[in-house]
Amino acid sequence: MFRVSVVLVALIASISAEDQGEKPDDQSSFIRKCCKEMASKPDTELIYNKCYKNKTSSSDIYTCIATIKGILTPDGKLDVAKVNKYIEDEFQTDPELVTVIKEACVEGDVSKYGPPEINEITKFFICASYEQVMACPDWTDDVPCDGGKFQMKRIE
């Protein structure tokens, strides 16, 4: 079953809220709240809270997250080997999702995951979140999740 194109819009809207200085209900929180089988690492919430504090744009926030996760090169770009290891560690219980995220978000073109003014690091995290949403097999019935009854089309 296809899921929400609204989620991607929400992800971009979340970034717009961030750029206006508001703390959004970020995409990872949405996924953790709505997908029954999606577990995140215990440090994720702490890292997000630390990075949302005093950051002025989505690029700042996701660069902060990537820095803490240790997936950047010294010049501030995504380090492919470290990103692949991060994905393997973060989603170790779901090898299929690891493969999908690597193919779409590391080997694939992440430019389609946001407007040109958003950096590649941010687009990587949007892509990874999108793939998590697409892979969720069982949604809660709580609002805004609504049992996954929304429709999402695969981004081409």
State the Cα–Cα distance between residues 113 and 124, nearest whole angstrom. 8
CB-based contacts of 78, cutoff 8 Å, min separation 6: 66, 71, 72, 106, 120, 121, 124
Length of the chain: 156
- Tell me what pLDDT residue 147 has: 62
Return the domain boundaries, the chain.
Answer: 5-148
CB of 33 within 8 A of CB of 145? Answer: yes
- Tell me what pLDDT residue 150 has: 56
What is the reported pTM? 0.74
- Tell me what pLDDT residue 14 has: 43
Confidence of residue 56 (pLDDT cuts 50, 70, 90): confident
* Mean pLDDT for the stretch of residues 14-32: 49
Q: Give 82-98 as a DSSP string.
A: HHHHHHHHHTTT-HHHH
